[in-house]
Each structure stands twice: as C-alpha cells, then as structure tokens.
Amino acid sequence: MLHAHGPLLTVDVGERTTTETDIDDVLQTYVGGRAVATALAHDRVPFDADPFGPENRAYLSTGPLQMSRMSFTGRMNMTALSPLTDGLASTNAGGYLSRNFVDTGISVLELVGESDDLLAIHVTDQGVEFEDVPDLEGATVPEVSAYLEETRDIGPEHVISIGPAGENLVRFASVMTFDSRAFGRGGLGAVLGSKGVKCITFEGASSPDLEIPNPPEMTVHREAATSDDLMRRQGTTGSTVFRNDNFSLPTRYFAEMEFEHVESIGGSAVEEKKYEKGACSVCAYACKLPTRDEESGVETEGPEFETVYAYGSLQGVGDLVDVMRANELCDTLGMDTISAGVTVAAYLESVDDFGNAELAQELTEQIARREGVGDTLAEGVARCHDDLGVDDWTVKGMEFAAHDGRVLHGQGLSYAVSNRGADHLYAGLLVPEYRGELDPEGTLGKVDRLIEEEHRNALRDSGIVCEFGASYLTDDRLEALFDADLEELLAVGERTVTLERHFNNQRGIDHEDDGLPYDLPDLEAAIGNYYDARGWNDDGTVPESAVESLAPSTN
C-alpha cells in the first residue's frame, strides 16, 4: 500500500531538543496524515492530559499524495487533544505548505512540552533552530508573515502561525498557513499558544523518492483543469440559495431555517466580488475565492459557505461586505470562522441584537484578545451558554456547521456520533441527502452508509486528498493510486475512527455525549444500530480487544 515516508520528528519546546524516530511500521499500517497522527496521539498523549498542558502533543502530518503532482493534494493534517471538545481532533488546511513540509524529509512533526518564552521554530532538512520572538507577542497572522519575510526571506507558504487568539488560548483558535488557510476546527491554535509556539517554518530539498502511479494522477489533474463545476467559480457558496430554498439555512441562532437576505450573501454575490483565481499547491481546480469590495476596500479570501452561514444568516447579517470583514478578521486574528461566528450569534441572541454587524466584529476582536465579554465568549458556546441564557447548540463542545440535521436527518445522526462533534467534514450524509440519493427524512437504515463515509473521509484525510476531489477519485482510481484494494483502504479509516473513539472513551466521552440539542425520529435506535454495526459496547465505548488487534505500538 502506498504510504508516506520519513521519520517522526519530535520537538520538545521546553527543553529545546529534537529526536527523530523511525515509524515505517506505523506509516505502512496507517498511510499518513490523520490516521498516522491519530495512532501516534493515541499511544503518546496521556489519556488524562490537560489540553493546555505540556503533556499534550500536537502533530502536523503529511500523506503520500503530497509527493505527487496531482490536483486536490495541496493539503496537510493537524491533530491534537482539543481544548474545545476535550477529545482528539484532526483538522486539515490547504495552501502551499504541504510540499515545503515534505521537502524537510520528515513525515510527521510532533510538538511536546511548553516554552516559557515565545518561540519561532525553523525546521529544515539540515535540522531545527529555535528563535525567541518576544517582539511577536500579540502579533496578527499577517504581521508574523511580514516578520519572517523581512528577517529570514521566508514566504507565508512555508509557515504555520497563530494570531492573538492562539496566544490567548481561545478554545476555537486556528493554526494558519499562507495567511488565510486555516487548520480551523477544534482549537489547535490554542494548543500551540499553550506551548509558547508562535510560528513554525519548513524548508528543504530532501523529499523522499516515492513513485506515484501516473495514469490516475494525470487523468485527475486534467479533469480538474477542464471542469466547469459551479464550485470553481463560487467555491462552496455556490449552493447557498439552493440550500436555503429547498432545505435549511440556519438563521438567527437557529431560531429560523431560512434567511430573507440569502441572495445578497450567496454564491452569485460572492462571485461578483471575486477578482482573480485562487488555488492550492499544484491544483488545477482553482476553487478559492480572492474577493474585494472596491467601494470599501475590504479584501479577503472567501468567504466560503460556512462563514456565510456563521457570520451571515446565523447572525441576521445580510450584507456580504460585512461577512467579508468578519472573515478577514478571523483569519488575521487566527480563529475558526464557524465556532467564532456561532458564538457571536449566541451573544446577539442573548442581547436581542441580530443584524448588528459592527457589534459582531467588535465581539470577534474582543474574543481574540479575551477583553470584556470576549473573555467569556472565548470559551465557546458549550461553556458560556448558561451565562448568556441561550441554548447550547453544540455536540461534544463543538459548534454546529451549517448543514442542518433538523432537515437532513442522516446528517443529524452523523453529528451525534461523530468523534469530533458537530463538524460536517468528519463524515456525514449531507451530500447524498442534498442530492436525493438518500431520503433526508429519518435516521434508520442509514448507518451502513454513514460508517462507510466516516471511513472514506478518514482515508481522504490520511492520503491526503481534498474533499472537493471526491468525485474525481473514483474507487478504481483510489485503488490504483494507493496500490491496494478498496476494502484494505477503508480499513485504514476504520482503524482511525476506532482509535479516536477509544482515546475519547478514556477521557469519559461515551454514549451520554452522542446526542443533539433537538429531537430526531428514532435517533436513539439509530445510535444503537451504529454501535452494533461497529461492534462497540452499548454505552458507546470500544472494547479493549478491538484496540489491541489494530496496529503496532508507536511508543
């Protein structure tokens, strides 16, 4: 089976030491990316670790396809114990980092410990350098990039960094790369902040010599270049109006399910502001959204659909320029737009001030700097909803993505059982339910498809392949690319989901946490069917025997 190559590089930021470990056996079993990082975290992060403590470990990992020239492969994975969900969380980002990371010759970077001084870490194929950067305290993401450009002639495509939100341990702080691409969900920016790591750079010329099968690689690249998908013009916002009119667009902190101003913040409105094409590394699909409003001078990359929802309809804001401002603010300060937007919407609900975009932006700044009420909101909805007097619209502590499980019942089931919480990219049945391949009504009879999608997405995040390449990477192409049959590939996903669940179980996360803030037909029965199909216990825990049989130890 095709898999990533290179050692694990462990960086102890407190001791300022590094260690390389051969993990070939783990890579062979887990391919790369999310699966390898999950296996490492499961074995090396103490089950009782504090997410903000030195014993938590953060993993940045690549997959074998980052050594290819195929479209949809300009991405990387990040995994750690999440300060938002208190369980393992993995998130990935696009941009141009992945191939610069591969050029250092490693497959996984592991961060452990904590530094008393704010650090920049420089990783090359010749070694690691630690740099004290006290002048970067409180710096925004673009300010970090400007500093590295000036002092080291390093561009943002070589960098991961955190903004003020990460330094201030905002529980949904992002890790950013290329200034506007985010390792967004789960608050991993706060993990770097707790370790005193402001930024890490990657440079080298030592990528492993790995042969990738050519026919599917080049065919996918050619098809991406010639596609006429709406998404290439409007990104994920292309179906905003369709979802609003035919399904649901959560509005005014979930009180309503359609937004009267949807046309002014949807795909066509976004396309009007798009001034050039944008892409990730070597990708011909070019679905990114560099946007500019000439009148106000606001410029950003995006917003994508989830931001249009979180800072638009959910807050009752119907002006795209206001959403663009919020999007740029979150990128600059280093925060997940979904969790930040939902949390701000919860506050607007508490003061009955929906539509106040100026207040929403002020709150976003206050959250990142933990000033005033922002200190409370920086904890996220699950921890602050009682103080606000609003309902807790989260699962396992994670704020909801836009795809509404009250209408897409299979997607609702997915949110309920997801190890990551209410995140649409963990798995989900939203695509087949939107398309009518599955009846959106009802939760029963959907478990087998849900489990398959969870495994496919875990494989995708391990390969690593962009979600938007799913329709291009058919089963036969996956088999050819990875030199393995589909059953073997999906087993990688199964092992990943199982290890995530087992780790979370050891932290007390079980059936009591597999639920929703709203009722769905037969939800409890469907959850029970899900456990049965996976061979788990009735309380949502993984039998120890299932873990012992999985893979080699990584210790």
Q: CA-CA distance, 182 to 176, in Å (whole number)?
A: 5
The mean pLDDT of 229-256, rounded to a whole number, is: 97
As to burial, measured by CB atoms within 10 angstroms (0-12 exposed, 13-18 middle, 19+ buried), residue 294 is exposed
CA–chain centroid gap for 483, Å, is: 27
Q: Where in the chain is the domain with CATH 3.60.9.10?
A: 8-203
The C-alpha R_g of the chain, in whole angstroms, comes to 22
pLDDT of residue 295: 96
Per residue in 18-30, pLDDT tens?
Answer: 999 999 999 999 9
* pLDDT beyond 90 at 427: no
CATH, domain 8-203, list 3.60.9.10, 2.60.120.680, 3.20.20.70, 2.60.40.1180: 3.60.9.10
Helices (H), 371-485: 374-377, 381-388, 409-417, 430-435, 447-463, 475-482
For the chain, residues classed under CATH 1.10.599.10 are: 409-548
Quote the pLDDT of residue 428: 80
CATH of domain 227-388: 1.10.569.10
Nearest CA among 360, 356, 326 for reference residue 344: 360
How does pLDDT run across 468-478, given as a tens digit for each residue?
999 999 999 99
Question: CATH number of 409-548: 3.30.1330.20, 1.10.599.10, 3.30.420.40, 3.30.470.10?
Answer: 1.10.599.10
Which residue ranges does the chain devote to CATH 1.10.569.10? Answer: 227-388
Residue with more model confidence, 244 or 69? 244
Task: State the pTM of this model.
Answer: 0.98
Q: Kindly state the DSSP code that residue 88 receives in the 8-state scheme.
A: E
Please compute the mean of the pLDDT values over residues 128-134 and round it to a whole number. 98
